[in-house]
Amino acid sequence: MKGKLVVSLLILSLTTLLLALLSPEPAETIVRFFTGPFRNIYAFGSFLSSALLLVIAGTGISICFRGGQFNLGGEGQVYSGAAASLTAALLLPLMPGFIAKPLLIAAAMITGFLIAALSGWLRHRFSIHELISSYLTSGALVFFCDFLISGPLRDEESFLIATQRIPGAYTLAQLLPPSPLHSGIFIAAAVAAASHIFLHRSVWGYRLRMFGEQSTFARFGGISPRTYRIMPIGISGALYGLAGAVALLGIHYRGIQGFTAGLGWNGIAVALIAGTSPVMTLYAALLVAYIEIGISSAMAGAAVTYDLGLIVRGAILIVVTLKVLKRKQEELL
Amino acid sequence: MIQSLLQYTLPILLASFGGLVSDLAGTLNIALESLILLGAFVTYVVSIHAQSPLAGIMAGSLASGAVVLVFYTLALKGRANIFVTGLGLNLLIPGAVATASSLMYGTRGVLRFDNFPLQPTVLSVPLPLLFSYAMLACIWYLISASSAGLRIRAMGLHPHVAQIRGVSPFRTRIAALVISGLACGAAGGLLVLSLRAYVPNVSAGRGWIALAAIYLGKRRPWGVLAATVLFGAAELAANIAQGMFALPSPLFMALPYVAAVTALIIQGLISHRKKPS
């Protein structure tokens, strides 16, 4: 816990420093950074709705890490999940919402699972490191989804590079209008709870953790290496896909080019800050969402907002695994 | 034809050789992609200020090397996970470069050379190109024929044994990583000088392709050379095809990634035909 506090404070002070350096009026910018998410209902709802996406994405990556694997394909998996959901929503005949929603979410999760599982299988079958194969497949898929949204699915009448809206019956209920907070928050809570039960109360979770810590020992214990090379990264892919679907059905309601960008990397940041426990995932997701919303309200309109977000995300990853900052039991990697 | 093949291959080859050195030391540098970008930007800036492409590419190379030195020293000394550090650099550097571009030139977009500085030549080979060849030759010599190369390999294969034999883990690894930074910086410089402009995201996945080439080449210099020629040829072919068929541009940008994954799978099929891991 102390280690996480040190990491959090370090990240917050780094961000503040960067904002002060890049802003023409440092004092005002810093005040806006810290008060940003609480400025009004809309900002607060945006803060919670990005945090809930990060809970889903971060939980998946935590499971992947516990299984001893590294999934760098988050960007492509979130985007492809969202695109699968979107394609199904726009092309299938109109259905009642209670049938459509689970179907669209399942489409996204299966898509994410298959993409990530491919990397796990390549690692098992051909010893190709999943770090590289997951990034490369994701790189290709990001451009493919850009193509879908800017080409075949594009709404010609829109000024944005965007598709038509999905039918109103398919969207997740808004909880705090006019803010984007939506009922996906229950999905995020269910994911966090289910993953805790899976990892710590089920035999599969036990095997997964054992395989992650000592794959040779696990193999002697009769644990199938194929299953446990595919399962952890596959689960993270499925949850990335789910995050993509929730972003579509809960926030954007239509495909916009690059609309899920950043979620993949932030999921990794959340999992690394959180270490292992689901409770900590909630904390880490809130922290990362706070920083993202804080930056965008502090630098509103400035051209460097996006770049600053990148710099802060990078800085988080660079400091978060430094062992000098944490005690031994908090080590994840 | 051969000249354009060379032009497409050389940056990937440089980055790949750099990555190979870091991989042999047991600390694969996955930040190649962003180090190419940094080298490209610094090359642009210095080429203009010094009116010398050679000074530009050297500065670009040094800049990437210096960034690697600072951040990976932090990572190794702080016992951080070096993949996560590399990933952090891959996010941080593009953000920092775009910010620097906005602050210095007022744009995050394409930066052109108003009048391209003269490229001095030796026997009609431009000096920056000569610099890159020299760097390639040095790396090749280092990994295949020098005692320093042996120490690097030993550190990657059996760190404990190497340590007992008096090889310093920190110094060996940071040296290998800095070499990968220098090589990537030069690769970025070559891209900028051959495009005669700095384009955002000029690295366009080449750092990741270079990583794939290391695996495809089975971590041997000749193998890596062959793999990068293959990727260079694929890029050249894709560019020619783009001229003929006008593929939608996002699909065109996905091609290098598709090529890399396909190549890895085909190689896997060939070399693992019987034995599952």
Probe site for chain B from A17, A118, A306, A318 (most B CB atoms < 10 A) = A318
CA A200 to chain centre: 22
The minimum CA-CA distance between A103 and chain B, rounded to whole Å, is: 28
Q: Report yes or no: B175 and A99 within 8 Å, Cβ to Cβ.
A: no
Please name the residues between 3 and 42 in chain B that touch chain A, using a CB distance below 8 Å: 30
Q: Looking at the partner chain, which of A128, A311, A317 has a beta carbon nearest the beta carbon of B84?
A: A317
pLDDT at A333: 54
Please indicate, yes or no, if residue A39 is contained in any of the structural domains. Answer: no
Question: Residues A91-119: pLDDT tens digits?
Answer: 988 888 888 999 999 999 999 999 999 99
Q: Looking at the partner chain, which of A140, A310, A322 has a beta carbon nearest the beta carbon of B257?
A: A140
Q: Report yes or no: A45 and A179 within 8 Å, Cβ to Cβ.
A: yes
A124 in contact with chain B, both atoms CB, cutoff 8 A: yes
Is omega for the bond preceding B169 within 30 degrees of 0, making it cis? no
Is the model's pLDDT at A149 over the cut of 60?
Answer: yes
Query: Rounded mean pLDDT of B143-161?
Result: 88
**Residues of chain A contacting residue B94, judged by C-beta atoms under 8 Å apart:** 307, 310
Please indicate whether, in this complex, the C-beta atoms of A314 and B88 are within 8 angstroms of each other: yes
B233 in contact with chain A, both atoms CB, cutoff 8 A: no
Q: In angstroms, rounded to a whole number, what is the distance separating the alpha carbons of residues A138 and A144?
A: 10
Q: In angstroms, rounded to a whole number, what is the distance separating the alpha carbons of residues A206 and A185?
A: 27
Domain range for B144 is 2-204
**Residues of chain B contacting residue A151, judged by C-beta atoms under 8 Å apart:** 248, 250
pLDDT at B267: 86
Q: Report yes or no: B182 and B61 within 8 Å, Cβ to Cβ.
A: yes
Please indicate, yes or no, if residue B157 is contained in any of the structural domains. Answer: yes
Is the model's pLDDT at A298 over the cut of 90?
Answer: no
Q: Which residue of A has its CA nearest to B88?
A: A314
What phi, psi does A267 have (nearest 5°)? -60, -40
Give, in order, the Cα–Cα distances in Å from B71 to each of A325, B59, B177: 16, 18, 10
Nearest to A86 by CA among A165, A142, A191, A161: A165
The minimum CA-CA distance between B188 and chain A, rounded to whole Å, is: 20
What phi, psi does A174 have (nearest 5°)? -80, 140
Is B216 strand, coil or helix? Answer: helix
Is the model's pLDDT at A303 over the cut of 80?
Answer: no
Please indicate whether, in this complex, the C-beta atoms of B264 and A325 are within 8 angstroms of each other: no
Torsion on CA atoms A271, A74, A53, B85, rounded to nearest 10: 40
pLDDT at A308: 85
Task: Residue A127: count other Cβ atoms within 10 Å of its Cβ.
Answer: 13
CA B253 to chain centre: 19
Query: Rounded mean pLDDT of A180-189?
Result: 90
Please indicate whether, in this complex, the C-beta atoms of B78 and A323 are within 8 angstroms of each other: yes
pLDDT at A248: 94
Q: Report yes or no: A66 and A228 within 8 Å, Cβ to Cβ.
A: no
pLDDT at B275: 53
**Residues of chain B contacting residue A72, judged by C-beta atoms under 8 Å apart:** 87
Q: In angstroms, rounded to a whole number, what is the distance separating the alpha carbons of residues B114 and B196?
A: 10
Please indicate, yes or no, if residue A310 is contained in any of the structural domains. Answer: no
Please indicate, yes or no, if residue B259 is contained in any of the structural domains. Answer: no
Angle, CA of B251, B256 and B257, to the nearest 5°: 85
Q: How confident is the model at residue A301 (pLDDT cuts 50, 70, 90)?
A: low
**Residues of chain B contacting residue A320, judged by C-beta atoms under 8 Å apart:** 84
Query: Rounded mean pLDDT of A189-198?
Result: 92
Question: Residues B163-213: pLDDT tens digits?
Answer: 888 888 899 999 999 999 999 999 999 999 988 889 888 888 899 999 999
Higher pLDDT, A43 or B67: B67
Please name the residues between 110 and 129 in chain B that touch chain A, using a CB distance below 8 Å: none
Q: Report yes or no: B202 and B188 within 8 Å, Cβ to Cβ.
A: yes
Q: Report yes or no: A237 and A113 within 8 Å, Cβ to Cβ.
A: yes
Q: Report yes or no: B29 and B86 within 8 Å, Cβ to Cβ.
A: yes
Q: Which residue of B has its CA nearest to A132?
A: B212
Task: Residue A324: count other Cβ atoms within 10 Å of its Cβ.
Answer: 12
pLDDT at A27: 83
Is B198 strand, coil or helix? Answer: strand
Domain range for A189 is 47-295
- The ipTM value here is 0.87
Weakest mean pLDDT among A243-252, B27-36, B251-260: B251-260
pLDDT at B107: 81
Q: In angstroms, rounded to a whole number, what is the distance separating the alpha carbons of residues B54 and B114?
A: 17
Please indicate, yes or no, if residue B88 is contained in any of the structural domains. Answer: yes
Please indicate whether, in this complex, the C-beta atoms of B30 and A268 are within 8 angstroms of each other: no
Distance linking the first and last C-alpha atoms of chain A: 16
Please indicate, yes or no, if residue B170 is contained in any of the structural domains. Answer: yes
Is the model's pLDDT at A280 over the cut of 70?
Answer: yes
Q: How many A/B residue pairs have CB atoms within 8 Å? A: 152
Please indicate, yes or no, if residue A19 is contained in any of the structural domains. Answer: no
B69 in contact with chain A, both atoms CB, cutoff 8 A: no
Please indicate, yes or no, if residue A315 is contained in any of the structural domains. Answer: no
pLDDT at A22: 80
pLDDT at A23: 78
Query: Could you say which DSSP state residue A171 is in?
Result: S
Please indicate whether, in this complex, the C-beta atoms of A307 and B81 are within 8 angstroms of each other: no
The minimum CA-CA distance between A167 and chain B, rounded to whole Å, is: 27
Please indicate, yes or no, if residue B277 is contained in any of the structural domains. Answer: no
Give, in order, the Cα–Cα distances in Å from A73 to each of A136, A139, A256: 8, 8, 20
Q: How confident is the model at residue B98 (pLDDT cuts 50, 70, 90)?
A: very high
Angle, CA of A117, A118 and A122, to the nearest 5°: 115
Is B111 strand, coil or helix? Answer: strand
Probe site for chain B from A123, A321, A328 (most B CB atoms < 10 A) = A321
Please name the residues between 20 and 59 in chain A that touch chain B, using a CB distance below 8 Å: 22
By residue count, chain A amounts to 333
A219 in contact with chain B, both atoms CB, cutoff 8 A: no
Q: What is the CATH number of the domain that holds A290?
A: 1.10.3470
By residue count, chain B amounts to 277
**Residues of chain A contacting residue B253, judged by C-beta atoms under 8 Å apart:** 143
A143 in contact with chain B, both atoms CB, cutoff 8 A: yes
Higher pLDDT, A2 or A287: A287
Q: In angstroms, rounded to a whole number, what is the distance separating the alpha carbons of residues A263 and A242?
A: 12
* Number of structural domains in chain A: 1
